[in-house]
Amino acid sequence: MVPGTAVVTVGSSPVPVVLSIRATSPSRVVLMCSERTRVEAGRIVELVASADVRIDIVECGSGTDFSDSYTAVWEGLTRIGVSAPFLLDYTGGTSAMVAIAVAIHQRLHINDTGADRPDLRLYQNESDGSLQSDSGTKFALRSAMTIAEMANVHGFGVDMARRSPSPAVVWDRPVLWERAFLQRGHQRDAVSEPTVELRRALEGMFELVADPGCERSTGGGDELSVSDQVWSTKADAGGDDRAGKTMELAALAVLVGRHWDEVAFSCEVRSIGGKPKPVAEFDVIVRRGHQIVVVEVKSSLRGVAESAGRRLVAARTVFGGATRVLSISPRRKTDDDPDEVGGLEELAGQWEPALASLGRWHRLVLEHGKAIKGLRKAGARAAALLPAPTNALDFAWPAAPSDSLTMAAALPVPSDGQSATEPDAVREHPLVTAVGGSPLAVDSVLAVTSSETSSIGRPDALRAYDSRRGEQSSRCTSVLEVAGLDARSIDAACGQLRPSTLAITPATKSVTAGMTAVAARGDHDLLHVDIASGYAHSWRHGRWPHRHRAQWESTSNPQYELGVDGSWWRRLESAGHVNIPALEALLHGLHLPPGARVRYSPIPDVSWLVPILITGSWRAIGVVAPTSTTHSDRSMVMGCDHHVSSMVGDVGRLLIAAPSGVSAAQQARSWSALLRQNPAPLFAFWRDRNPSTVEFDGTSIWDWLR
């Protein structure tokens, strides 16, 4: 089949879209975005536009309403003349957008060719770096993006030292980086000679690059040159700063001892069009294809748990959710056991599955007396974090298969009906829900029906959820175990059911595609619960208000406490990342709706756990009061925003009590550029000289929680 049109759904992460376009090389691209991801679609166009490819954008409204979004997509594709056959990559977007895209793909192919084409529907499997079709064929995803490109499509620019390509460097014996590393602690008065030699050797391998408007400042007088800012500490730096820089250079030397597509050093990140201050800084970044590992080098284990979350959040915000982080730090004689530092392991055990992304953070502890031996492993450890190269075939546009699935009709146009409560046809219908996503979403879906329910998922996910089903467990009459969550497996499992309501809200994209495909053949219904807006959407019966009272005790992991004593506040104050008077004043001044509860972090010492979580009946607000607007405070707020999102998703938003040094509008713009916009953060402002005076919009807080 000659390359033709590719329709690609656009979510909050633009990276999968760019990779799909580069891997499939279509002659025409249609970006299917929602009103929430219109900005991301625009960034994608800027990156992939060329004279050889026509690019159109079709907006589907909210991307959560079956009827309105289906109509918008159908009319948009019709207007620009899209016809079968065409490719669909549904990796991005909401579950409702995926269902709509798959249903329209089926309808157009059945209308135009008389057969469905699951071989022309693809999703990206990030775990093994492949494109997989709904017919079961797997292709290698060999397309690449540079470090700068990944930052750019997320709205950030970089200033860094860069080496690309980066063939393996063979260091002479005795190894220069080893001599520099061993003398790192003997630089109180001046930088050691091995460190100077190591800097010169590495500096010659790299070039300094910066996105326009994101360059490091270089003023007059005593300001350092860009090169000195990247490669050395200030002339008056103390011994600890020099030792830290030497460690970074030694780690860089080890990492360039392996082959990479790109290596970056001393990468400063700024928001494009935002303030000139950097929003994040990364010691070393290595890239292979489109996969990257951010390497953080610390001079000791002190604060490793504190920096872990902030670094992970910053890396994911700038480069996308698939980013890995490797933290390297030596263990001094006086350091605690690395498995007890900061309670990180305790946190990881409590937080699953609310923050599965924590598994993308790994550390390399350089044991006392064996540090050189440990550091030699850095390159191998970084490479091991990336998926192994797949042996799948390169993508090729498929010809019409001989075993195309002939269908008499596609899934009908979704109903535009509206009702005050759930229709009887939904409430009394058997329901099947996927398990493995947000427990809050699963609970909300199960509350829709009074009939029997079934759960579908991998055995491990089913076992994990079984322990917390509670009152729902008596109605779970069957369990469907599947080995994989690909569309073909889900299609086969659901195809054996009698007509049921298939809930796509907690499902992965490929599960949603499988449920949508089988719904047309088996007279099934599709259900999506938009817990952020408080509406449930049935494909066949329209929408209705649905606000399920959340079981916060089982959702907010780690478990937040309803009452604390003075020791909790002393722990929070000693951590130094929160303005205590401002936070206390804000909590004292809040007028909360009936049933709302204030909950407290079980680990207030960790800055990237939001310290206060206020829960309403079905929505929540995380509260944080940064002490200033410095780099560390911005990282803390970004971490708390990700924490709230990981716990409760779109029903949780952040309330930031910020210093009122500039206008409220300017403050809000500055913070909002770094945070989720759906839902957008709320703001309160405290006075610099009197933090106990806090101004905020109590109505917005009340309305969100009631």
Query: What do you get for the CA distance between the two ends of the chain, in Å?
Result: 55
Q: What pTM, to 2 d.p., does this model score?
A: 0.87
Lowest mean pLDDT among 261-275, 456-470, 599-613: 456-470
Q: Across all residues in the chain, what is the average pLDDT?
A: 84
Question: How much is the CA Rg of the chain, to the nearest whole Å?
Answer: 26
Locus of tokens 């206020």: 614
The answer, yes or no, to whether residue 700 has pLDDT greater than 50, is: yes
* CA pair distance 413, 103, nearest whole angstrom: 9
Tokens of 236: 């008056």
- Residue 35 buriedness (CB in 10 A; 0-12 / 13-18 / 19+): middle
Q: And the tokens for 420? A: 């005050």
For residue 439, pLDDT beyond 80: no
- Residues 354-406 have pLDDT tens digits of 334 455 778 888 888 899 999 999 999 999 999 887 788 889 888 776 555 55
**Are residues 582 and 575 in contact, defined by beta-carbon separation less than 8 angstroms?**
no
Domain range annotation of the chain: 5-142, 147-382, 417-545, 552-705
Per-residue pLDDT reduced to its tens digit, 644-659: 887 787 888 999 988 8
Query: Which pLDDT score is estimated for 263?
Result: 97
Residue 154 has pLDDT above 80, yes or no: yes
Q: What is the pLDDT of residue 309?
A: 65
C-alpha dihedral over 34, 313, 484, 64, to 10 degrees?
A: -20
pLDDT of 351 strictly over 90 = no
Q: Specify the pLDDT at position 536.
A: 93
Residue 261 has pLDDT above 70, yes or no: yes
**What span, in angstroms and rounded, lies between the C-alpha atoms of 286 and 167?**
12
The yes-or-no verdict on residue 619 having pLDDT over 60 is yes
Tell me, what's the pLDDT at 680?
86
pLDDT in tens, 452-503: 888 888 777 777 666 555 444 444 557 777 777 778 888 888 877 788 899 9
Distance set, CA 406 to CA 3, 102, 121, 410, 687 (Å): 23, 16, 16, 10, 68
Comparing CA positions, the residue from 548, 545, 547 lying closest to residue 420 is 545
Q: How far apart, in whole angstroms, are the C-alpha atoms of residue 66 and residue 97?
A: 8
Q: What is the mean pLDDT of residues 71-97?
A: 95
Q: What is the pLDDT of residue 335?
A: 62
- The structural architecture, per CATH, of the domain 5-142 is 3-Layer(aba) Sandwich (3.40)
The closest alpha carbon to 194, from 266, 243, 136, belongs to: 243
Q: Tell me whether the CATH fold assigned to 5-142 matches the one assigned to 417-545.
A: yes
Assign domain 417-545 to a CATH class: alpha beta
